[in-house]
Amino acid sequence: MHIIDIVQNSISAGAHLIAVNILDDKEKDIIVIEVKDDGSGMDADLIKRVQDPFYTTKSHKKVGLGIPLFKQTAEHCDGSFEITSEPGKGTSIRATFKRSHVDLPPMGNLKDTILTLVVGEPSVDFVFNISFDGNHLFLDTREIKEELQDVPINHPEVIKFLREYLEENLKTMEVAS
């Protein structure tokens, strides 16, 4: 849920390329989630303000909660939270969590998360780098789109292929829950 939220922010910021890195390391007892985009970016003042739960630039809403909630969850789970951003260049958000923390939220269904993003935002490119205890999943939609040529990435046959590919590659990974 947090991942979709943070990626949605990148899309709202006009990103064309979004990298999602997830590292789940049982031995080091840590989970790292990183989202990097090439969207509009934020200046130092905005970076500070968006971490405040009562700040949003959306006019129809009183509060923005995506970032404050993600930060709060990370820090509550003995982790850390960091935003690096440059106006006009892009934004990088990195959150860490103590894997064994009792309040660690479940990772949820990563396959569905990835499919929702890739298929739901066909005009945005994604690079997923997911690593669970030595098992890796790498997916770059730019490569897939090049292979597909004129076939859209949200074509039913492509979705079926992607779903099977993700199932195959994620099943060996012990998803933290």
CB 103 within 8 A of CB 77: yes
Q: Which is it for strands 90-98 and 30-37: parallel, antiparallel or unpaired?
A: antiparallel
CB of 134 to ligand ATP, least distance (A): 30
CB of 15 to ligand ATP, least distance (A): 7
Residues that bind ligand ATP (CB under 6 A): 5, 9-10, 13, 37, 39-42, 50, 56-58, 64-68, 91
CB of 87 to ligand ATP, least distance (A): 9
E strands within the chain? 17-25, 30-37, 80-86, 90-98, 125-132, 135-140
Residues that bind Mg ion (CB under 5 A): 9, 66
Which of the choices ligand ATP, Mg ion, none does residue 80 contact, using the CB cut-off of 5 to 8 A by kind?
A: none
Planar angle of CA 43, 47, 50, nearest 5 degrees: 130
Specify the residue, 68 or 122, whose C-beta has the smaller distance to ligand ATP.
68
